[in-house]
Amino acid sequence: MTPSHFAFTSAFMLGLTGLALHRYHLLSALLCLEGMMLSLFIALSLWTLQLDSTCFSASPMLLLAFSACEASAGLALLVATARTHGTDHLQSLNLLQC
């Protein structure tokens, strides 16, 4: 694997691992999700630039727009959680606990 492909692939895998193994804060999970979106942006842009398919360079822009939508929805959920539970600690989200 070329170094640039390895870099964004391992960045995506690291963000996915950080999202799966988050510990205390909901916001750190959202930040790992943003890291995954960033690695996808780099991946699509490198695809465009390395294969000289410049028609494809609209897709990283659209990915960025939709990733902004997703980040704002995640942050609104964070604000709603902090308002009802007082904090964004994941231990306090235990309404479904038996």
- Asked whether position 71 contacts other proteins by CB under 8 A, the answer is yes
> Cα–Cα distance between 50 and 43 in angstroms, integer?
10
- What is the contact mask toward other proteins in residues 8 to 47, using x (rule: CB under 8 A)? x-xx-xxx-xx--xxxxxxxx-xxx-xx--xx-xx--xx-
> Cα–Cα distance between 11 and 21 in angstroms, integer?
15
- Asked whether position 64 contacts other proteins by CB under 8 A, the answer is yes
- Asked whether position 93 contacts other proteins by CB under 8 A, the answer is no
| Closest approach of other proteins to the CB of residue 59, in Å | 9
